[in-house]
Structure 1
Amino acid sequence: MRHGLLNGGSDRCPHWPQKRPQRTRPSETNDYAILKQQIKAAGLLESRSSYYWLKTALALATLGASAAIAVLSSVWWVLLLDAAFMGFAFTQIALLAHDIGHRQGYRGRRTNRIARAFFGNVLLGVSHSWWNDKHNQHHATPNHIDLDPDIQFPMIVFSSEQIQSRRKWLHPVIAIQAFVLLFLLPFQAANMRIISWQHLFDPKAEKPWLQAALLFAHFAAYGVLLYFIGWPMALVFALIHQGTFGLYNSSVFASNHKGMPLTHEGQRMDFLREQVLTSRNVSGHPLTDFWYGGLNYQIEHHLFPTMPRCNLRKAQPLIERFCKERGISYHSTGLFTSYREVLTHLHRESASLRGHTA
């Protein structure tokens, strides 16, 4: 399977080049420097190690509890509920791994590198270097029609002009892509594992043999867990667990950029405007903040990727006010509206394949 279904699969090699096309409005980059100075003065870029150690303890305890229930329980309905609970626990680990990848979590380069391998390869079964390469490219070129790996799908288009580059036998699928996307979300977990193994054969992969050993450790431990559950319940448990993990994890990222303005080569903006205009916030609420791992503040995260998760909520009103003062559109909407915007955009861009005008 060469193509990634979700999270940045395409005809390209899984190792994405860190290409940064020249921006077209360099005179406005001073706005970002002014904003960053204000953010730093507010202390919002300072490390919050104690917060992340607490989040680590809670995430590991949640994962441990779900594993203990799976091993000790023999009641079928408890195991089914626990499978979904483990999917939740895995996503909480993934959100923490995301923050670690941005060096938000711990002090020290070595500590962060070890944490990336532990949370990514060992706990999730995902190559940490593949994910970091792909995610860094996304941050460098958000919503770029050719360079952002998060909008390169073989069976999904985010602009009608992408249709001509897709294989014709996929056109009937693209025609109903808004519905197809919903179907694909639960498969993200499996897709990430497939691409992770492919990545290890790339000459640029970071310590591929060590990463492979850590991935084997993950799947060996998972195999032991399923052995204790017993056949055939183990198969049902695995399907529900991986599907829940894929659905929850992909749903967090689905509403952040999809359906927002695209950028093209030769039409790049300065850093501040490009990050803000291509991102969508989901309105903050303590429950939403927890569910999204802070990534509902996508604008703030893209402007300041190393900002600790717990500070994004504090930075939000400051950044929104700054953008309004400069006439920069700042888009924030509700949880369900954000998904409706994504699906409506996908349906509109594929209209020509249904015999309609987009």
Structure 2
Amino acid sequence: MSGLATDIRIFERSELSKSLEAYRDGNLGEKKYLTIDNKVYDITDFISDHPGGEQVISTHIGKDATDVFHAMHPKSAYEMLANCYVGDLAAEKSNAAQRSKDKQNSQAFAQEIRDLREKLQAEGYFDGSTLFYIYKVVSTLAICATGFAMLYYGGHSTPVVFAAAVIVGLFWQQCGWLAHDFGHHQVSDDHEKNDMLVLFLGCFCQGFSLSWWKNKHNTHHASTNVSGHDPDIDTAPVLLWDEFATANFYGSLEDNPGKFSRFIAEHVLPYQSRYYFFILGFARFSWALQSLMYSFNQGALDKSAKLNWMERSMLVSHWILFTAWNILFVGSITNMIMFFLVSQAVTGYALAFVFAMNHNGMPVISQEQAEDMEFYEIQVITGRAVTLSPLGDWFFGGLNYQIEHHVFPDMPRHSLPKVKPMVKSICQKYNINYHDVGAITGTLEVLQTLDVVQKLCGKFSKKVF
């Protein structure tokens, strides 16, 4: 690790800016620093060993990572962090302290959210309910048992096979939400137990790699809706969500566009709102393939051979058992194909519909803008809360409380409804936009965003070609 005691000193803020500029310019020889609680940490040698992946920690080189660190790390991470400590951050000079009113307001907002976090921790809001999660795991597995029992007893009937496919698709979706909860360590302080349940629910039951998911999802939380950083909005060339992605995609085609890329740019993306719902049906299968490729090409996120072996064996077992059950108990080739396609499509729609509602159509910010904004402010203004019935809460897996989840990612889902009024009140106090809508309104907002961007695609297409 970097950061020997003899190197400890006071760091000027310009040194952090230099570290960020060097990283952006691809200068690998420069030191890489970040700050937490006004202390400076040299992460140059630690980046490749970061348990959460290189991508997520790299988004905060040269920046203040205080809030994202406290929101997303267990107590055990503080010891590891201490090994990288190299000094303290110099106090801001008097002229720099003359911040704008908006900056003062966002800093006051962030401090109140920090204070709320401490209060909620003391009051037990971050303690996962064992009974709640036992109920969730058992009831979710019961959905699976129902679907496969229907195939076992009624695999000769097309309507039964179709209904079973829908039920299995919903099982995979609900597995995703549970794996998400365990992956954020909302359930237990024992991270190894949480990860084992992610391996079972995510890898074995659902067919999604733990390492692939964590690498992608941790980065999403660290730089939510930040252009060029957040992988969840990097869906080109299938869908484009904002002007930054559109400009980058069409700009990359100006010099020497391939025939396929040009066809997509001219004849597909300008109509993305028309095929949006069609494409969602392929989401689960796409993520499952990405999981397999990540696990067999990249390995485990923490470089563990044991974890990688477990992930690979569970992913392969998932597909073997799913295929075997389909072949053994479904009466015809036609129904086998139908079961496969319908189950995949149901999960794709059920997952992607929720994911799109969470952040798509909300503000996308540039990396430069993100540097001047507080972490908690970014989490609120880029998220969409969706007010639903109890059935809707179940379907969304609690992710309709998206703003609360992003502010407190390690808070168990059963606490989020209680915390929502508190967070909303603080946002109103500081005039931070808390966007709360119904499912229909949220869907229309997503479609309106696609429509605005597809018109921009048409203009870029004419300009470039």
SS, match of residue 294 in structure 1: coil
Counterparts in 2 of 1:135 and 1:118: CA distance versus 1, 3 Å = same
Q: 1:161 aligns with which of 237, 240, 244?
A: 244
Match of 1:141 among 216, 223, 240: 223
Q: Encode CA deviations 1:299-333: one digit per residue, 9 max, x unaligned.
A: 00000111111111111111101111111111000
Is 1:72 the equivalent of 2:153?
yes
Aligned to 2:402: 298
Amino acid at match of 1:104: Q
Q: 1:16 to 1:344 in 2, by over 3 A?
A: farther
Aligned length: 343
Cα distance in 1 between the residues matched to 2:124 and 2:189: 17
- The answer as to 2:59 corresponding to 1:20 is yes
Q: Is residue 2:315 matched to residue 1:231?
A: no
For residues 55-77 of structure 1, give each alpha carbon's deviation from its aligned partner in whole angstroms, at most 9, with x where no partner exists: 10111111111111111213221
Q: Which AA in structure 1 matches 2:130?
A: S
- After TM superposition, give the deviation of residue 284 of structure 1 in Å: 3.5
TM-score by length of 2: 0.70
Gaps of 5+ in 1: 1-14
Aligned to 1:249: 351
Between the aligned partners of 1:76 and 1:265, the Cα distance in structure 2 is 52
SS in 2 for 1:145: coil
- Helix, strand or coil: the match of 1:157? coil
Counterpart residue number, 1:322: 426
SS in 1 for 2:174: helix
Matched residue SS, 1:259: coil
Query: Do residues 102 (structure 1) and 184 (structure 2) align?
Result: yes
Alignment pair present for 1:260 and 2:357? no
Structure 2: which amino acid aligns with 1:165? N
Distance 1:16 1:180 in 2: 34
Higher alpha-carbon deviation: 317-326 or 169-178: 169-178
- Secondary structure of 1:126's counterpart equals coil
Which whole-Å CA distance do the structure 2 matches of 1:186 and 1:212 have between them? 25
Between 311-320 and 26-35, report the one with greater CA deviation: 26-35
Q: 2:232 aligns with which of 139, 150, 173?
A: 150
Matches within 5 A, 1:190-201: 190-200=285-295, 201=297
Q: Which moved more, 1:154-163 or 1:319-328?
A: 154-163
Kindly provide the CA deviation profile for residues 1-52 of structure 1, in whole angstroms up to 9, marking residues without a partner as x. xxxxxxxxxxxxxx77013333696844423212213433543212212211
2:172 and 2:245 map into 1 onto residues whose CA distance is 34
Unaligned segments of structure 2, at least 5 residues: 1-52, 65-98, 250-260
Partner of 2:264: 170
| In the alignment, structure 1 residue 284 sits paired with structure 2 residue 388 | yes
Name which one, 1 or 2, has greater alpha-carbon Rg: 2
Distance verdict in 2 for CA 1:43–1:107, change over 3 Å: closer
SS of aligned partner of 1:350: helix
Cross-structure match for 1:4: none
Residue identity in the other structure for 2:322 = Y
1:8 matched residue in structure 2 = none
DSSP 3-state at the match of 1:348: helix
Contact kept in structure 2, 1:126 and 1:196, CA below 8 Å: yes
Amino acid at match of 2:326: L
Counterpart in 1 of 2:117?
36
Contact 1:32 / 1:271 at 8 angstroms: preserved in 2? no
Matches of 2:192 and 2:300 in 1, distance apart?
Answer: 20
Q: Which moved more, 1:17-26 or 1:247-256?
A: 17-26
- Letter of the aligned partner of 2:113 in structure 1? Y
1:51 paired to 2:132: yes
Q: 2:235 aligns to what SS in structure 1?
A: coil
Which stretch of structure 1 is more off in the superposition, 246-255 or 103-112? 103-112
1:213 corresponds, among 296, 310, 313, to 313
* The one of 339, 347, 350 aligned to 2:451: 347
* Residues in 1 aligned to 2:444 and 2:381: alpha-carbon distance in whole angstroms: 18
**Cα shift readout 1:100-159 (whole Å, capped 9, x = no counterpart):** 111112452221121111111110111111011101110000001110000001222222
Change (3 A) 1:64 1:16: farther
- More deviation in 186-195 or 107-116? 107-116
Alignment of 1:75-94 (within 5 A): 75-94=157-176
Once the 2 structures are TM-superposed, how far is the Cα of residue 293 of structure 1 from its aligned partner? Answer: 0.8
Q: What is the DSSP-based 3-state SS (H/G/I as helix, E as strand, rest coil) of the residue aligned with 1:295? A: coil
Tell me the distance in 2 between the aligned counterparts of 1:352 and 1:259.
15
Work out whether residues 16 and 134 of structure 1, in 8 Å CA contact, stay in contact via their aligned partners in 2: no
Q: In the alignment, is the contact (CA less than 8 A) between 2:223 and 2:230 conserved in 1?
A: yes
Distance 1:203 1:59 in 2: 29
1:170 and 1:272, CA in 2 relative to 1: closer, same or farther beyond 3 A? same
Judge conservation of contact 2:161–2:339 (CA < 8 Å) in 1: yes
- Give the whole-Å Cα distance in 2 for the aligned partners of 1:250 and 1:121: 18
What are the superposed Cα offsets for residues 237-281 of structure 1, whole Å, 9 maximum, x if unpaired? 111111111111111111110011112112111121110000000
Task: Tell me how far apart the structure 2 counterparts of residues 79 and 16 of structure 1 sit (CA, whole Å).
Answer: 43
RMSD: 2.1
- Does the C-alpha gap of structure 1 residues 144 and 16 become closer, same or farther in structure 2, counting only changes over 3 Å? farther
